[in-house]
Amino acid sequence: MATSPIQFIIPDLLSTFPWPRRLSEHYLQVKSESAAWVDSYPLFNEELLRPVQHNDPALLAAHTTPREKDIVRLQSDLLIILLAMDEVSDEGGSELNTQIREIVMDAFRNPYNERPGGEHQLGEMTRDFWIRALDRLPPGAFSIPRFIDTFDAYANAIVTKAKDKVERRHRTFEEYLSIRRSTIGLLPCFIISESMLNIPDDVYNHSRMVALRELAMVLIIIANDLFSYAKEKARDEGSAVHNAVEIVMVEKDLDIQGAVKELERYIAGVMAEFLDNAANLPTWGEEMDGKTKAYVDGLAQWIRGNDCWSFETTRYFGKEGLEIQKTRVMKIPAGFSSESP
């Protein structure tokens, strides 16, 4: 007798979120330009190109950064670099990951130097992206060192992520969130979104501004883990050990639906904190208050846009995304236990 697939329900985490869906009018043009850019690098063979096409980074950029066309394009290309690094980290050992990190970070720190012949193509891709970004920013922009620092943290963290998957290491929920805030690569993306605001360090590093970034990342991380869990579990490649659903199942001895409900309760608290911090920022004067409002709107757009993109692309749900968005029913193929691992 055939075994039925495991089903669980994913909650609508943003049912009361006050920021609506927005899609940049530049989406299709950016998609075409980013695709041509990818095609110009031999790094992307057919196997590596497939996840880029399925993920549609231009769609995520258009949902989360619905601003000037060149900013949307930079965001799309950055997402491609992040995706390529993530794919390489999943396939390579610690030596390759360390090498890629050194190449990429050197390209960020020395963008006007020609890249050495024969090195990994991510070096030249990064250099090209960063030169275009620097051309868009005023000299001495606050976002320049912020971007380099946050990307360096991301590059370091994906080495840890790859090692965890190989070793099938289960971290605690708080340990996982600490690492995941770097491995998800959101901080560099946030900086591209807000780069033209040029918010000074004293405002950017205010406790409520820091909290808003941290909370936005957690909201996106948990959503991504809920959406990706069935796919990761079905692949059985160790990916699910780097997923909040699996971690909560282990930590609290729950089945899948129990872990999902636990995460739903957790996210409700995170959402309340985000809205409280957004509503209670201090005032820095009319001009700066306008910039901080735009900054908060940008973070909120990432939260909403990531949710929309998750169902509109094929990354998590194949061609069933819009249907699953309505029904909220997820399925894992037969052969996996719904009990905690």
CA distance 333 to 231: 9
Quickly state the pLDDT bin for 100 (edges 50, 70, 90).
Answer: confident
| pLDDT above 90 coverage of the chain, percent | 65
CA distance 259 to 176: 15
Q: Decide: helix, strand or coil at residue 262.
A: helix
CA distance 317 to 331: 10
| Cα distance from N-terminal residue to C-terminal residue, the chain | 24
Give the chain's domains with CATH numbers: 26-332 (1.10.600.10)
Average the pLDDT over each of 118-122, 140-144, 149-153, 196-200 and give the range with the smallest value. 118-122
Q: Decide: helix, strand or coil at residue 7.
A: strand
Give bridge partners of residue 290 from the DSSP assignment.
Answer: none
- pLDDT tens string 291-322: 999 999 999 999 999 999 999 998 899 899 99
Residues 6+ apart with CB under 8 A from 156: 101, 182
Cα-based torsion angle of the residue sequence 125, 87, 40, 54 in order, rounded to the nearest 10 degrees: -130
DSSP secondary structure of 275-337: HHHHHTPPP--HHHHHHHHHHHHHHHHHHHHHHHHHHHSSTTTGGGHHHHHHH-EEEE-TTS-
Average pLDDT, the chain: 88
Model pTM? Answer: 0.91
Tokens (6 digits) for 108: 């960020």
Q: What is the mean pLDDT of residues 164-187?
A: 82
Kindly give the pairing relationship between strand 6-9 and strand 329-332. antiparallel
Element (H, E) at 68: none
Strand intervals (E) in 26-146: none
Residues 6+ apart with CB under 8 A from 326: none
Residue 329's nearest CA partner among 198, 254, 226, 202 is: 226
Q: Decide: helix, strand or coil at residue 237.
A: coil
Q: The dihedral of CA 210, 82, 33, 103: what is its sign?
A: positive
- pLDDT tens string 21-53: 999 999 999 999 999 998 888 776 666 666 666
Residues 6+ apart with CB under 8 A from 190: 213, 216, 298, 299, 302
Residue 201's nearest CA partner among 284, 272, 293 is: 284
Tokens (6 digits) for 222: 């948990």
Residue 89: the pLDDT is 65
